[in-house]
Chains A and B, each alone.
Chain A
Amino acid sequence: MPNDVRLMPRLDEIGVRRLLGSPDLLREGTMAERLAAAASSITHAASGGSRASQDDLQTLLDGLTALAVQHGFPNSGGATDRAAFDAACGAWLGEGGILHKAEAMRDDVWACVACCIAPGIVLWRFENGHPDRFRGGVRNTFQRLWLRARAVDRGEDHEDRWGLLRALSEDASVQITERPGIGADSNIARALAEAWVVSSARVGSNRMEPITRRAARMIRRDNEITCLGALGEQERLARVQGFFERAEKA
């Protein structure tokens, strides 16, 4: 059976810094120019698939660009549009496509996506262009969306597979993906997201930020003495919903 894994280019920290030091190249340059400028900092896995071709990378860029255009890229789009872009882009990345999940778990792959392939979308999504939005990690423009998608994916067979991505607020998403005790276990992350939706319907999404933070703290603390990830799905969900109810009353 042919191996269809695309080995993505990986950009090291020196390459990230080099490109961040060339704002014109980020804004105006082409993908080929940026890849050439950072060539000495780009590597690929030695084996395990075939290297992503220029066409593959262009397909990735075209896909990201099409989604961004739907939400106002390059010249318009308010906060609501950008939040909608996050949900749509997360779902698109979560469904795989060119980025195989083994490759998508690497920070340096996402650094290359943000710095070399689609920096224009980064600068549209985050106008201040903070370096963390380009570097690999939980704050990378695209990596954070992929992490969210993996964390709250209801599964291919679910009729509303990416419903949680659309429902969650930015703050709730951050609470999930930037807390290792939650984000590293999709069972816990999904339970938190489902409970958030229920709680949000009850008290209103505009009141959810302090409630989410309190509940996330309770969950992380509880996870030290109860292996939440090992509970049955219903039991876990009930327990997490209980924390939200307590947080609402606090």
Chain B
Amino acid sequence: MPEPLTLHAECFKAAGGMTADGMKKLLGTPALSLLDTVIRETVQNSWDARREDFGVGYRIRLRALRPKELAILEEEVFAELPPHQSSAMGIREFLDADRQVVMEISDWQTAGLGGPVRADRIPERGEANDFVNFVRNMGARRDVAGGGGTYGYGKSSLYQLSRCSTVLIDTVTLSSKEKPINRFIACHLGEARDMRKHGRLTGRHWWGTEVEDEDVVDPVTGQQAARLRRLLGLPDRDDGLTGTTLVVLDPDFDDGLSLEDIGAQIQEALLWYFWPKMLPGLDGELPIEFEVEIDGEVLPLPAPEQFPPLDLFVEAYRCVKDGGPNLYDIDSERPIQHLGKCSIRRGFRQPRRYLVPEGESLLPSSSAHIALMRPVELVVKYVEGTQLPSDTVEWAGVFICNDDPEVEQAFADAEPPAHDDWIPDQMPKSWAKTYVRVALSRLKYLATSYAYPGPGAASGGSEQPPLARAADRLGNCIPIFGNTRAGGGRPGGGVGGGSGGRGAGRRQWHIGEPRFRRIEEGTDGVEAVFQIDVANSSGHSLRLVATPAAVMDGALADAEDDDQDVSFICWEDEAGTRLTTSTGIVAASNSDTTLFARIAFPDDGAAGIRVTATEQVS
């Protein structure tokens, strides 16, 4: 058996230092739950460490250690426990428990924790200092332009989440010569204690490789780190798959909740805070491919476009990005500065798919919120406004601040360590403070006045009854994107789209939402053709099923409403050759395909099509 890791319990230097307990408090008291804070912090870290703007992998895995993994942890990692009982006891209790639950948070296609491993070494020109900033230092400012986080305090949430305040860190990064470097280290934040034998302990502990005559341990590297990764059952990083896995030991979840319940909370938090990163770009690639795995089972994460009310937020987001109706410029008048754009979309309230009990859900039962973001497009918070006066309709807005460096920096500086708010009051008097204050004030006004515009804007003639005015306001309920929901206009776009597949940070298939192409006069009436793009890089074929339907009340009619006079005719290829008249068709594995669905519909209405896909695993 190789040598077990060496424990280093840090002592105060003559010039002083910070206690581990103090570090845990640096995060402050975020408004969010600890689990939400951990999720937000780690996704932001992964995004800031991205190697490209698409294809980042992020996975949270909850599981119990297997006996062999526990033995490795006990005999090789924690062979030596902290000298003070207050720290040692928590780890001992975890190791001796009936079941050792851990939460692994992993990313791929990211840079890993690179740079020097000692805080007193100056990085070379162009070299990152990520390992030191994450493992050794606290509060170091990140130098990622337009990054999601600008502090280094949020990581203390990982230790707070662990009942024994202990985290394992396994990372693969690249050297300056592009060679993979494995690093493994265990960290614990305990209480500061004075001990006659050991001196004045700060409470910070690391387990790693002993360095002769030096008062520090370095991370385990090379084959030894890869071996520990494999024996502890951590995600494989062979072939230089760079990135980081953080293992929170004994996460502090409510005792009454099962791992499946926690998994659902994680899914919902990912959707609520990171839906912009789940939207495919022009080339169909997702910025981040999220996965949640509970005891070996991957929980499917719904596409935001099909997870109300996020569908409305997505519409608003696309309006901000591409232009559209109800787009507001948020400006400061003194000094004159464009602060950002806000779009608000309204629509019929779609039924919710709650992943957690409704009362505990982050999702509002009726949306009346504006999502606030910086250009990095991670949701900082939601500003709640006034609901529309009917439970059948709701609205959602998105504000993205201007990417002018001065403005972006102002909003970044207004964020507390947990990055979950913009608080201008904590900023010194400056234009930056004015920018944030003015933007928040305008957005809050927009949020509260949107449902009930002022008398001038809302008043109709005295003969106009209130519901007619409501109808006026409902008039633009119909989504403007033909490819996101049922479309306005005669052939009503489509509903569908989605992606899936598993893998280390790589999405494996994606079905584009049906796009209306043309109307033709068919033998028995009007026919419409929709295009469906299929990108399938998985090893399995996909079965697509098309369901045509009439459009009513701005959406595809459901089965109860559909009077069956919209019918499916056939699938066709790009040349117009009929492939099958069945509503189901198979898309081959490892190929990109464009298919066309032809439907017949009466000439007195609008119609659309919904396409669902399932992976065919033999």
Q: In the complex, A105→B393 CA distance in Å?
A: 13
Number of interface residues of B (CB under 8 A): 30
CB distance from A133 to the nearest CB of B (A): 15
In the complex, what residues of A have CB within 8 A of residue B391's CB? Answer: 107, 136-138
Determine the residue in chain A with the shortest Cβ distance to B470.
A184
A82: CB under 8 A from chain B?
no
Interface positions of A from 184 to 243, Cβ below 8 Å from B: 184-187, 189, 214, 217-218, 220-225, 229
Choice from B467, B554, B606 contacting A186 with Cβ under 8 Å: B467
* Partner-contacting stretch, out of B31-39, B528-536, B545-553: B545-553
Knowing A105-B390, A150-B466 are in contact, say whether A225-B490 is a contact too (CB < 8 A). Answer: yes
**Is B468's CB under 8 angstroms from A224's CB?**
no
Residues 541-570 of chain B: 1 if any A CB is under 8 Å from the residue's CB, otherwise 0?
000000000111110010001010000000
Is the C-beta of B604 less than 8 angstroms from some C-beta in chain A?
A: yes
B390 touches A222 (CB 8 A): no
C-alpha gap A153/B467 in the complex (Å): 11
Interface string of A134-154 (1 = CB under 8 A from B): 001110000000000011010
Residues of A close to B557: CB separation below 8 A: 217
* Contact of A221 with B605 in the complex, beta carbons under 8 Å: yes
Contact at A187–B468, with CB atoms within 8 Å? yes
How many A residues, CB 8 Å from partner? Answer: 31
Tally the A-B contacts, defined by beta carbons under 8 Å. Answer: 84
Is A130 located at the chain interface by the 8 A CB criterion?
no
Other-chain residue from B389, B463, B604 in contact with A222 (beta carbon distance below 8 A): B604
A18 within 8 A of B: no
Which of chain B's residues has its CB closest to A189's CB?
B467
**Interface residue? B304 (CB, 8 A):** no
Q: In the complex, what distance in Å separates the CA atom of A153 from the CA atom of B465?
A: 9
Whole-angstrom CA separation of A101 from B468 in the bound complex: 13
B490 touches A217 (CB 8 A): no
Whether A105 touches B389, Cβ cut-off 8 Å, given contacts A150-B465, A224-B606, is: yes
A166 near B: Cβ within 8 Å? no
Chain B CB within 8 A of A21 CB: no
User: How distant is A16 from chain B, measured CB to nearest CB, in Å?
Assistant: 13
Encoded as 1 (CB less than 8 Å from any B CB) or 0, chain A from 168 to 192 comes to: 0000000000011101111101000
Give the distance to chain A from B352, nearest Cβ to Cβ, in Å. 14
Closest residue of chain B to A181 (Cβ to Cβ) is B553
- Tell me how far the C-beta of B186 lies from the nearest C-beta in chain A, rounded to whole angstroms: 45
Q: Is the CB of A217 within 8 A of B552?
A: yes
**Chain B binding site: helix, strand, loop or mixed by DSSP?**
loop
A106 at the binding interface (Cβ < 8 Å) = yes
Distance (whole angstroms) from the CB of B605 to the closest CB of chain A: 4
Among residues of B, the one whose C-beta sits closest to the C-beta of A151 is: B467
Which partner residue on chain A sits nearest B464 by CB separation? A186
Decide if B492 is an interface residue (CB 8 Å cutoff).
Answer: yes
Please tell me if B108 contacts chain A, counting CB pairs below 8 Å. no
- Known contacts A138-B392, A150-B466, A225-B490; decide if A180 and B605 are in contact (CB<8 Å): no
Q: Is B54 an interface residue (CB 8 A)?
A: no
In the assembly, what is the distance between CA of A222 and CA of B603, in Å? 10
- What's the least CB distance linking A131 to chain B, in Å? 13
Is B47 on the interface with A (CB-CB < 8 A)?
no
A180 shortest CB reach to chain B, Å: 5
Q: Is the CB of B470 within 8 A of A105?
A: yes
Is the CB–CB distance between B606 and A221 below 8 Å?
Answer: yes
A184-B390, A186-B471 as given contacts; A221 in contact with B466, CB under 8 Å: no
B474 at the interface (CB under 8 A from A): yes
Neighbouring A residues of B390 by C-beta, 8 Å: 105, 107, 180, 184
CB distance from B534 to the nearest CB of A (A): 28
Complex interface: chain B residues within 8 A of A153 (CB):
465
Closest 5 CB pairs of A and B: A105-B389, A181-B553, A221-B605, A185-B471, A220-B552
The chain A residues found within 8 Å of chain B, CB to CB, are: 101-102, 105-107, 136-138, 150-151, 153, 155, 179-181, 183-187, 189, 214, 217-218, 220-225, 229
Q: List 20 contacting pairs A-B, 8 Å CB cutoff, sorted by A.
A: A136-B391, A138-B392, A150-B465, A150-B466, A180-B392, A180-B393, A184-B390, A184-B392, A184-B471, A185-B474, A186-B467, A186-B468, A189-B467, A214-B563, A217-B550, A220-B561, A221-B606, A222-B604, A223-B552, A224-B606
Q: A153-B465, A183-B467 are in contact. List 6 more A-B contacts (CB 8 A).
A: A105-B470, A106-B389, A107-B390, A214-B563, A220-B552, A221-B552
